[in-house]
Structure formats: structure tokens, C-alpha cells
């Protein structure tokens, strides 16, 4: 396995004492407080693959009911690979980011064709699957096959950065490659499964992005970010707090834009309407427009064509001059 290395300019090497304390406190906390999630009660690599794809950019509470429904509809990788893509998309809705369903089925078909239906168990082979990145490969290797590997998702990045580097303000952030190197450096021997799950649980419940609950954190005494926040609480005009305010302002500006005006919203509306049509039936774009946008006008047609072209590229629709339908 390829090991990642920290940059020569990276001066912080966590002290063995800090690493040992973090291991002890976090693993003890996880043993008592771990979330009861269905994908943690299985080592089926297919079920874990489904959960990991669903959890991309989607909250756990939204994934839970759809995870069970999806596995009931496609209980094995072979079932998913053989299913009509339209059925896969329909079962996925309304989870969002529907192209993930197409990517998931593509992975299933690749595994069926190239690996005899058995999902590989090494990072190197998993990365050969189209659409599987380093985090997903690590998750499958660790959670399904109990391999001692590190991984970095959004929650793990944030937790490790805050513990060992401090607040994630500009000038201190490591890129993903170097953060993975740090994750490998602090990985406890023989405890990769519990460690990675604990980091994700802490990031999801306590060490959150916008409102961390530091007073209830098991790592408070060993966290560089907590010490940094205590320092700058004495100097409200300090650079850390200024940076945090800038991040908050950017998020407020983005969130001020109504979701119902975004292309993502209309992509979902298109797929939802196509699901309501009889199987195989096409609808002309001129008729589809008013169905998804009540104030649709003739000059919106080029915008709709661009949305349809993108959906077709993502494998979510089939488009001809006669109209559009699910694949």
C-alpha cells in the first residue's frame, strides 16, 4: 500500500503522549456513545458500498430509511447490476444527487464483469473501480474487510485538523494528501475500524463545523483548536476569529439563495416528473418545461436543454428529438 508522507515544511509532529491520550479518550468515548447505524452491523462489502455512496453529501437521518429500502429492492450486487437503470433511479429518489445511483450501478456492473461479482479488498484494486475515490476505498477495506487503513472524509478531516493542528483557518490547512498522511501517522494499531468510526461520530455529533460542543468533548484536554479558541477569546479581534467570521459570512451569502432557484432543484424536478410517466414514454421539452417551472417561457428552452444534456451525460435520462425519458 502506498504510504503518504508529510511535507518537509510541516513542522508539527504530534507528540507520542498526545497521540496516546487521544487514542485512549476517543476510543473509550466511542465504546460508550457510538451511534447505532445499520451498516455497522454488517461486514457485507456490498451493503457498506451502498451506505458509503448514499452518505456522500447527505445526512445520516435521510439515508437511514432509504438504505433499508434500497437493499430490499436490490439485496445483492448482482441484483443491482442486472436491474434497469430507471428502477435504480426511482428507488433512490428522493435521496438527492441522483447520479450517485447511476454511479453505484456502474460500480456493481464493473465488479460483476471484472471481479466475478466480488468487491475487491485492497485499496489498490478498489481504486480501479470507476467512481471510487480514496475515502470510499478506505471505508470498504476497513469496515468490510477489517483492514488497518486510514481514511479522510469531511468529518475526519475536521476532527484531526482541530486536534493536532488547531482551527482550520487559512494558512494552517493541509491539503487532502497531507491530511491523509497525518491520519496514517496517528492510526492506532489494530483499532482502525473503531478509530475511523469514532472520528466520524465525533465530527457528526460534537466537533461539528459551525457549532462545536467543546464542553462535552472527550478530547478537550488534548485538542489544539480548543486551546487556540481559549487564547483568542481574550482577543476578539484576533486573526482566527476574523477568519471564522469570513467563513460564516460566505455561508450566509450562499444560503440566502433560495434552493428552489438552483439547477440542482430543477434537475430533481425533471427526474421526479419523468418517474410519473408510463414506462418508456417520452415528453417533449416544450411540454416538460411548464411541468417543472410554472413560469416557464420560450426563452427558457435553451436553459432546459442544457439541464437535460447534463442529466443525459450523468446517465439519468435518455433524450432524443422526440423528447426525454428515464434511461
Range(s) within the chain of domains with CATH label 1.10.1670.10: 16-34+150-240
Q: Is the pLDDT of residue 5 over 90?
A: no
pLDDT of residue 266: 87
pLDDT of residue 122: 96
Name the catalytic one among 52, 125, 228, 322: 52
Banded model confidence at residue 239, pLDDT cuts 50, 70, 90: low
Alpha carbon distance 194, 202 (integer Å)? 12
Tens-place pLDDT, residues 162-215? 999 888 765 556 678 889 999 999 999 999 999 999 999 999 999 998 788 888
Q: Is the pLDDT of residue 235 over 80?
A: no
Alpha carbon distance 179, 57 (integer Å)? 20
How many CB atoms sit inside 10 A of residue 171's CB? 6
Burial-class residue 321 by CB neighbours within 10 Å (0-12, 13-18, 19+).
exposed
CA 271 to mean position of chain CA atoms: 22
pLDDT of residue 106: 96
Strands (E), the chain: 318-320, 323-325
pLDDT of residue 2: 54
pLDDT of residue 262: 85
Q: Is the pLDDT of residue 256 over 60?
A: no
Tens-place pLDDT, residues 273-314? 898 888 889 999 889 998 888 888 888 888 998 899 988 888
Position with higher pLDDT, 67 vs 294 = 67
Banded model confidence at residue 94, pLDDT cuts 50, 70, 90: confident
Q: Give how far Cα 68 sits from Cα of 18, 37, 38, 92, 160, Å.
A: 40, 11, 9, 11, 31
pLDDT of residue 137: 97
pLDDT of residue 203: 95
Q: Which helix (H) or strand (E) holds 226?
A: helix 224-232
Range(s) within the chain of domains with CATH label 1.10.10: 260-325
Q: Is the pLDDT of residue 252 over 70?
A: no
pLDDT of residue 96: 86
Q: Give how far Cα 94 sits from Cα of 66, 112, 271, 297, Å.
A: 9, 27, 10, 27
Alpha carbon distance 175, 179 (integer Å)? 6
Verify whether residue 125 is a known catalytic residue. Answer: no
Q: Is the pLDDT of residue 144 over 70?
A: yes
CA 81 to mean position of chain CA atoms: 22
pLDDT of residue 237: 44
pLDDT of residue 232: 61
Banded model confidence at residue 260, pLDDT cuts 50, 70, 90: low
pLDDT of residue 234: 41
Return the C-alpha torsion angle 258, 260, 265, 268, nearest 10: 150
Q: Is the pLDDT of residue 89 over 90?
A: yes
Specify the range with the lowest mean pLDDT, choosing from 40-44, 113-117, 198-202, 233-237.
233-237
Position with higher pLDDT, 260 vs 246 = 260
Q: Is the pLDDT of residue 243 over 60?
A: no
How many CB atoms sit inside 10 A of residue 63's CB? 21
Q: Does domain 44-143 correspond to CATH entry 3.30.530.20?
A: no
Q: Does domain 16-34+150-240 correspond to CATH entry 1.25.40.340?
A: no
Residue 241 is given by DSSP the state H
Alpha carbon distance 271, 278 (integer Å)? 13
Mean pLDDT confidence for 86-94? 93
Percent of the chain at pLDDT exceeding 70: 86
Mean pLDDT confidence for 247-264? 61
Looking up cell 466475478 gives 116
| Average pLDDT of every residue of the chain | 87
Domain range 260-325, CATH architecture: Orthogonal Bundle (1.10)
Position with higher pLDDT, 51 vs 313 = 51
**Distance between first and last Cα of the chain:** 39
Mean pLDDT confidence for 131-147? 96
Contacting residues for 297 by C-beta, under 8 A, at least 6 apart: none
Range(s) within the chain of domains with CATH label 1.10.340.30: 44-143
Amino acid at each position: 500500500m502506498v504510504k503518504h508522507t508529510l511535507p518537509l515544511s510541516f513542522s508539527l509532529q504530534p507528540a507520542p503522549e498526545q497521540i496516546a491520550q487521544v487514542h485512549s479518550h476517543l476510543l473509550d468515548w466511542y465504546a460508550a456513545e457510538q451511534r447505532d447505524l445499520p451498516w455497522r452491523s454488517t461486514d457485507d462489502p456490498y451493503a457498506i458500498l451502498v451506505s458509503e455512496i448514499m452518505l456522500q453529501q447527505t445526512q445520516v437521518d435521510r439515508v437511514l430509511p432509504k438504505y433499508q429500502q434500497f437493499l430490499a429492492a436490490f439485496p445483492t450486487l448482482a441484483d443491482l447490476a442486472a436491474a434497469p437503470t430507471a428502477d435504480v433511479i426511482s428507488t433512490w429518489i428522493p435521496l438527492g444527487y441522483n447520479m450517485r445511483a447511476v454511479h453505484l450501478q456502474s460500480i456493481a456492473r464493473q465488479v460483476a464483469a471484472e471481479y466475478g461479482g466480488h468487491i475487491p479488498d485492497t485499496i489498490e484494486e478498489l481504486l480501479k473501480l470507476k467512481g471510487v475515490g480514496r475515502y470510499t476505498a478506505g471505508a470498504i477495506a476497513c469496515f468490510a474487510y477489517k483492514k488497518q487503513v486510514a481514511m479522510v472524509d469531511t468529518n475526519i478531516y475536521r476532527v484531526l485538523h482541530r486536534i493536532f493542528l488547531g482551527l482550520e483557518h487559512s494558512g494552517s490547512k493541509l491539503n487532502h494528501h497531507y491530511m491523509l498522511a497525518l491520519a496514517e501517522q496517528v492510526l492506532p494499531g489494530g483499532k482502525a475500524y473503531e478509530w475511523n468510526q469514532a472520528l466520524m461520530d465525533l465530527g457528526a455529533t460534537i466537533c461539528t463545523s459551525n457549532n462545536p460542543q467543546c464542553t462535552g468533548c472527550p478530547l478537550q484536554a488534548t485538542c489544539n483548536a480548543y486551546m487556540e479558541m481559549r487564547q483568542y477569546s481574550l482577543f476578539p479581534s484576533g486573526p482566527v476569529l476574523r477568519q471564522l467570521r469570513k467563513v460564516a459570512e460566505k455561508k450566509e451569502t450562499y444560503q440566502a439563495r433560495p434552493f428552489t432557484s438552483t439547477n440542482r432543484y430543477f434537475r430533481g424536478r425533471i427526474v421526479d416528473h419523468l418517474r410519473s410517466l408510463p414506462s418508456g414514454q417520452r415528453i417533449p421539452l416544450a411540454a416538460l418545461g411548464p411541468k417543472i417551472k410554472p413560469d416557464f417561457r420560450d426563452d427558457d428552452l435553451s436553459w432546459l436543454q442544457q439541464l437535460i444534456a447534463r442529466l443525459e451525460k450523468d446517465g439519468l435520462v435518455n433524450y432524443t428529438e422526440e423528447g426525454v425519458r428515464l434511461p
